Amino acid sequence: MNCLSSLCCCPQGLSSEEERQPILGAPESARISRSPTYDSQCRSGRVIVRHVGVTDLDQRFSDFAETFNKQQEHYECMQEKRKTVMYRYRCAPDSSLTECLQKIKDEHDDHQISMQMKGYDFSLAVTPDDPAPDELKRTQENIEELCQAVKAIVAAGTKLEEMINWLLKSEKRLTQKVNTEAKTHQECIRLGGNLRENLREASRAKELSPRYREEARKLFNEVALLSGVNP
């Protein structure tokens, strides 16, 4: 990044300590001190954005962080539910959903089991559905949760991409806005550093979000093929 070395900004009514606080809260595990290996070790997970002293810009960063962190949560849910079903039917971690579905059918061979898709919703259909073993019912619930996570990841994609691109492409203009709000050199250094950190978080999200969407789309397409629907 080509940020100016002396960015300046001054949030009215904020103490020095308050200016350093994240705009959005984060789990304690995310509030770790920087170390030389931090960037290499923490390449995924929630983003944290900090005050830069310009109201509309703080709001933009807050909206970006909230949108990405929701997508991150859905991505983690997608992974968790997939792993849960894989583990339940003793599938290898790298097994496809197709392979896992076959194991589900083998395990419950007294039921007719198939993937069904209607629009963007998919589910595990079981016939007869009563009585169905508790294990199979839990699997149906997991597939429904998987569906909701996949849809949410994909749905957030376009909006999040627009947010991130605007922030990164406007770097010079944002730097000037933050610079204009400053009243002291100390604020200039502190809040300029916050802006650079926020832009680094936006760059990280720009790398992660497309990966999340790609994994969600692959899973959706696999379900579509299993359901006999052209993705």
Domain assignments of the chain as residue spans, ordered by start: 55-227
Query: Which phi and psi (to 5°) does residue 213 adopt?
Result: -65, -40
pTM beyond 0.85: the answer is: no
Closest CA to 136 of 147, 125, 145: 125
pLDDT-based confidence at residue 132 (cuts at 50, 70, 90): confident
Helix (H, G, I), strand (E, B) or coil at 126: strand
Most confident region among 17-21, 120-124, 125-129, 183-187 by mean pLDDT: 120-124
pLDDT at 128 over 90: no
pLDDT of residue 102: 95
What pairs with residue 121 in β-bridges?
118
pLDDT of residue 84: 96
- At the topology level, CATH places domain 55-227 in Glutathione S-transferase Yfyf (Class Pi); Chain A, domain 2 (1.20.1050)
pLDDT-based confidence at residue 8 (cuts at 50, 70, 90): very low
Q: Are 142 and 163 in contact (CB under 8 A)?
A: no
Separation CA 37–CA 166 (nearest Å): 29
Q: Are 70 and 43 in contact (CB under 8 A)?
A: no
Separation CA 176–CA 4 (nearest Å): 9
